Structure 1
Amino acid sequence: MTGDEIDKSVRQELQSLPKTLAEDVAKNLVMVARLLDEDPEQAYGYAQVALRLASRVAAVREAAGFAAYGAGKYAEALKEFRASRRMTGSAELWPVMADCERGLGRPEKALAMAGEPEVGRLDRAGQVEMRLVAAGARRDMGQADAAVVTLQSPELASSAVHPWTARLRYAYADALLEVGRESDARDWFARALEADQAGTTDASDRLAELDGVQFTDALDEDEDEDEAEVAEASVDGTARTEDSGKGAEKAE
């Protein structure tokens, strides 16, 4: 790992730093990206190092925000996202900022952000993310039916598959299930699974649950069989010992 693995645009931002410092920051950012999903706390630690080294670089503030977000530190994440947005003027982080408000127990604020002009500056993927956050906020507020309506959109109706398609269909299925539309929910979980090439959702498990299918872990079965064999051997051994004792008594 050299630090050259980072995105080209981030590397360009780091060119404002002395070479050695830029390399150190880049290495920490690479580790943040690698660990963000599998070990959020460790990713957060690397992000903090990068932040201490280069807090005036927007990409560093953004990475620190995502690391804090992944670790459930929503207030800190929101602070870093706001800092990055001030530096770049971009609205790209608007949906995740709104989701931080949800994490802080302020769904009303997240919902208000869904109606701000910044949403109009988002690309299609960003607008889908904003819709997902808004639907989540509705559910946080106990407005399950409104969440269903919020997710109904041209993107949901489209048969085309995009990186966000599986998550959108899954969220819709989950919302339908909450309002008691089980048959429709099953249909949309199936559609989510169909679009989920990367395995980003547990749509297959949800489908199985709705169908009443139970999975048994093969490893658990093997362990149970081993334990049964040990118990059986123990019983046989005890029986043989008892028989031997009886034989000895007869010999006497």
Structure 2
Amino acid sequence: MPIPEDVTGEEIDKDVRQELQSLPKTLADDVARNLVMVARLLDEDPEGAYGYSKVALRLASRVAAVREAGGFAAYANQKYGEALAEFRAARRMTGSVDLWPVMADCERGLGRPEKALEMAGAPEVQKLDKAGQVEMRLVAAGARRDMGQLDAAIVTLQSPELASNSVQPWTARLRYAYADALLAAGREQEAREWFAKAVESDRDGSTDASDRLAALDGVEFTDALGDDEGDSEDGGEKPSAEAGDKD
């Protein structure tokens, strides 16, 4: 697959670069450049990222960082079985528990929420850092919802991290998940309050909490121009005030 000339491979994390030192230099550079493309495209073009990950895997499947990248690319394309296999391989190579939450979420994707809950109660969770433990809580709550256990999902999300006024990288997503669970359980007023709290903490627009809050308040976004003004002679499209955020 073609790689832009401005991609040198030096952009990757230094720990990954160190892993690649076990390879011949030319091969290491090729793998690094493909890993850079995976990272660049993962959010905006998951299929493209997946293609570059397959190239990297073909070149260096014995490198843990490559297996991990392949896992995230497969995960982004909802290829949960493949993602789980890559994450397991990476974990065997490194012994790290960092991938435990996303591995559990793959189990959800494969229709096995019970397995995800089993993983949420495993000793590995205690070895995760705070961000990993919050992520595991989010996965466990999702598994409860998969099983139709809305009240249990709400209780699962209730935690010191949720109650804290301190804004951390996970705060917006945790508050959003709690609001969404409350809304699913028919607790609309409480859901509105927590969507508002999610908006306050969502500094990088990682959720669509503002849209959800507006919907609860009955706010509708319409075209900025009326029908008469919008029908231009050159047939151009009318600008829209509506914008969507990613989950």
Q: How far apart, in 2, do the equivalents of 1:35 and 1:224 lie? A: 40
Indicate whether 1:8 and 2:10 are aligned: no
Output one character per residue of 1:121-171: Cα deviation in whole Å (capped at 9) or x when no partner: 100000000000000000000000000000000000000111110000000
Map of 2:166 onto structure 1: 160
**How far did residue 223 of structure 1 move?**
6.1
Output one character per residue of 1:45-75: Cα deviation in whole Å (capped at 9) or x when no partner: 0000000000000000000000000011000
Q: How far apart, in 1, do the equivalents of 2:37 and 2:130 lie? A: 29
> What amino acid does structure 1 have at the position aligned with 2:56?
A
Determine helix, strand or coil for the equivalent of 2:231: helix
Map of 1:129 onto structure 2: 135
Q: How far apart, in 1, do the equivalents of 2:191 and 2:42 lie? A: 31
> What amino acid does structure 1 have at the position aligned with 2:219?
V
Q: How far apart, in 2, do the equivalents of 1:228 and 1:5 lie? A: 45
Output one character per residue of 1:95-145: Cα deviation in whole Å (capped at 9) or x when no partner: 000000000111111011000010011000000000000000000000000
Map of 1:41 onto structure 2: 47
TM-score, length-scaled by structure 1: 0.88
Map of 2:119 onto structure 1: 113
Output one character per residue of 1:166-189: Cα deviation in whole Å (capped at 9) or x when no partner: 000000000011111111100100
**How far did residue 225 of structure 1 move?**
2.8
Map of 1:244 onto structure 2: none
Q: How far apart, in 2, do the equivalents of 1:158 and 1:88 lie? A: 33
Query: Counterparts in 2 of 1:18-33, with a 5 A limit?
Result: 18-33=24-39
**How far did residue 229 of structure 1 move?**
8.1
Greater share of helix: 1
Size of the aligned set, in residue pairs, is 228
> What amino acid does structure 2 have at the position aligned with 1:163?
P
**How far did residue 224 of structure 1 move?**
5.3
RMSD: 1.3
**How far did residue 228 of structure 1 move?**
8.6
Map of 1:50 onto structure 2: 56
Map of 1:208 onto structure 2: 214
Percent of residue pairs bearing the same amino acid type? 79
Q: How far apart, in 2, do the equivalents of 1:138 and 1:193 lie? A: 25
Q: CA 1:23/1:212 → structure 2, altered by over 3 Å: closer, same or farther?
A: same
Larger-gyration structure (1/2): 1
Give ranges in structure 1 of 5+ residues lacking alignment.
231-252
Map of 1:249 onto structure 2: none
Q: CA 1:216/1:118 → structure 2, altered by over 3 Å: closer, same or farther?
A: same
Q: Pick which of 102-111 and 221-230 moved more.
A: 221-230
Map of 2:240 onto structure 1: none
